[in-house]
Structure 1
Amino acid sequence: MGSHRKGHQAAANAYVPLPMRDGVSPSYLWLTETRAGGMLRFLAERYPDVSEASWAARLARGEIVDASGAPLRADSPVRQGMRIWYYRELEQPEAPIPFEETVLHLDEHLLVADKPHFLPTIPTGRFLKETLLVRLKRKYGLPDLVPIHRLDRETAGVVIFSHNIETRGAYQSMFQKRVVRKTYEALAGVIEGRDFPFTYRSRMVDGADQFFISEEVEGEPNSETLIELLERRGGLARYRLHPLTGRKHQLRLHLSRLGAPILNDAFYPVAQPCKGDDFSAPLQLLARSIAFPDPLTGEARSFASARVLDWPAA
């Protein structure tokens, strides 16, 4: 067996024996046991979703190396305590995401991007190069770039990245200390019977039957959203949302439970079967702005998305 982590999450003083390749940083695997049969057999068994032929080809090309950078062979021994490095590849061609990100700010510490709908923040599942992280690494040549918070693939808006290992901890601690102020906007159904603004609280947990969604249960609230009404057009309204906590899908679930699901939400109130992306109908949720006191200088900083939500045609 092994323990897998991305190369860009390595410790600051770790030696990375493979360079960034077309925006993709190498991944690594710690081996936690000694096994017979050689490296090819181990990799094929460890990652059954990747074909043995693919692993054999990568080994033959010298693209899987040990911690010193020495290429491994198909018959190389598998020993406890080894760390091997390799590039993640997809078995199937990656579908392009036909929307572009915008960089709002770049300095010696941070990169702030305005993410489009449908684009994942980081590599996951069937997405690798068509992700915000890999696109930005490739365009700006920043091998140490990592997001210090996340946006759902379906959500557009502001994402902050760190590319300076020495100061990364200071910026990550902002989120732990809850000094970051995030503001979202959403187009959703009309919330009836409420005076605005108001705060909605509930206890959220991972879905019991569908792990990829969240649900509400009885108990002490662990999620909190301040909701403002900005405008109303017929049966839809535009809301400004202030998440005071950061649970998975918090804004989507809260609005749905209030009887006002976000326009084009395929998960709430009912998770629909995956039929592929409909680029003409993005989720109408936008991470509008983010503000914080800079942990290095104390300066008040804020960044705002230039994107707008799409009211349906009358």
Structure 2
Amino acid sequence: MATGIVMMQLRQPLPAPLPVIDGVAPSYLWLPAGEWPDLLSFLEQRFPAISSATWVARMARGEVVDGEGVRLAPGSPYRRGMRIFYYRELPAETPIPFEASILYQDERILVADKPHFLPVIPSGRFLHETLLVRLKKQTGLADLTPIHRLDRETAGVVIFSHDVASRGAYQSLFQQRLVDKTYEALAPSAPGLVLPLVYRSRMVEGTPFFRMQEVAGEPNSETRIELIEQRETCSRYRLRPLTGKKHQLRVHLAALGIPIINDAFYPEVHPCKGDDLSAPLKLLAREIAFVDPLDGRRRHFASQREL
């Protein structure tokens, strides 16, 4: 069974010279071409929201270093192509009152069941309130890394690697579309829609920047849609994406006139008033299945959550 899988050797990242602290790994930055009198001047321009005093304090604590782990100072010379490491900090972070659970863990991978609203990785206004950082704190696995994407608004199954040597083999499964992914969604009933059906369209980045849109041209996205059950006020659908475009399932259901319940982006963008924790997007990554690239076993993981 495993003989049909093409193995890919992916370049692994170099180890960070700073440790993981409280579940947070250091961020890094390659210094671009440009002229600055010293490192602090560059950082002030690159990160205008962070004060000079904050950078000076971080450097005094030894929390800004180069790729070899050598501590950098405010007056350190700016060198194009140098990689610097530092810890990202947030002055305040909104707590997300929902917990993930671990569905499976072995010596190579960890499978989590993510709640709605919780981001997978640190970004923007989220750092500690992310699935990755929470799991690092819980398990102590410093090399934990997600090997596929799941939107913050979506709940369900997420697979992580915590073994650097085998990570590329698992990542290649997603890149080669050798993973069977099944989602469930609650959306309006559509008596006139003949199901099951396969919906295809061409998707590109839209406006505003965080949305996707459909345009004319060769399809680059494909979803199989089935009806699971019709409820009194809506229906539950099974969605099998054969491609992995951003927001693909949300765009496709909206295009069919059955937008996912509580979708703030499609078909129209609703004014941002903060998260309404009582109204999660009714989309769940229900199942993931694949043939393990290392031992040939059939792997299947299912969320325990319900919409």
Structure 1 residues 51-130: aligned runs within 5 Å: 51-90=51-90, 92-130=91-129
Deviation, 1:34, is: 6.5
Mapped partners of 2:191, 2:53: distance in 1? 58
Partner of 1:225: 223
Deviation, 1:14, is: 2.5
Deviation, 1:13, is: 7.0
Q: Judge conservation of contact 1:184–1:240 (CA < 8 Å) in 2.
A: yes
Partner of 1:18: 18
Deviation, 1:286, is: 0.3
- Does 2:194 match 1:189? no
Structure 1 residues 272 and 40 mapped into 2: Cα distance closer, same or farther (>3 Å)? same
Partner of 1:138: 137
Give the structure-1-normalised TM-score. 0.91
Mapped partners of 1:257, 1:15: distance in 2? 44
Partner of 1:161: 160
Please, which moves more after superposition, 47-56 or 138-147?
47-56
Deviation, 1:68, is: 2.2
Mapped partners of 1:169, 1:13: distance in 2? 11
* One-letter amino acid of the structure 1 residue matched with residue 59 of structure 2: L
SS, match of residue 65 in structure 2: coil
Mapped partners of 1:141, 1:210: distance in 2? 38
Mapped partners of 2:64, 2:158: distance in 1? 32
- Does 2:27 match 1:27? yes
Structure 2: 5+ residue stretches without partners: 1-9
- Of structures 1 and 2, the one with the larger relative CO (CA 8 A, separation 6+) is 2
Q: Deviation string for 1:201-240 (max 9, x for gaps)? A: 1111110x21101111111111111111111123410001
Deviation, 1:32, is: 3.4
Partner of 1:7: none
Deviation, 1:180, is: 0.4
Partner of 2:171: 172
SS, match of residue 167 in structure 2: helix
Please, which moves more after superposition, 184-193 or 75-84?
75-84
- Spell out structure 1 runs of 4+ moving beyond 6 A: none
Mapped partners of 2:11, 2:62: distance in 1? 24
Mapped partners of 2:34, 2:185: distance in 1? 52
Partner of 1:298: 296
Give the structure-2-normalised TM-score. 0.93
SS, match of residue 217 in structure 2: coil
Deviation, 1:67, is: 2.1
Mapped partners of 1:15, 1:292: distance in 2? 29
SS, match of residue 181 in structure 2: strand
Partner of 1:3: none
* One-letter amino acid of the structure 2 residue matched with residue 101 of structure 1: A
Equivalent of residue 236 in structure 1, options 224, 234, 237? 234
Deviation, 1:82, is: 2.1
Mapped partners of 1:36, 1:259: distance in 2? 53
Q: Judge conservation of contact 1:191–1:258 (CA < 8 Å) in 2.
A: no
Mapped partners of 1:148, 1:75: distance in 2? 38
Q: Report % sequence identity.
A: 64
Mapped partners of 2:34, 2:233: distance in 1? 63
Mapped partners of 2:221, 2:76: distance in 1? 50
Q: Deviation string for 1:256-302 (max 9, x for gaps)? A: 11111111111111011111001011001000000001111111110
Mapped partners of 2:146, 2:123: distance in 1? 14
Deviation, 1:12, is: 4.1
Aligned length: 298
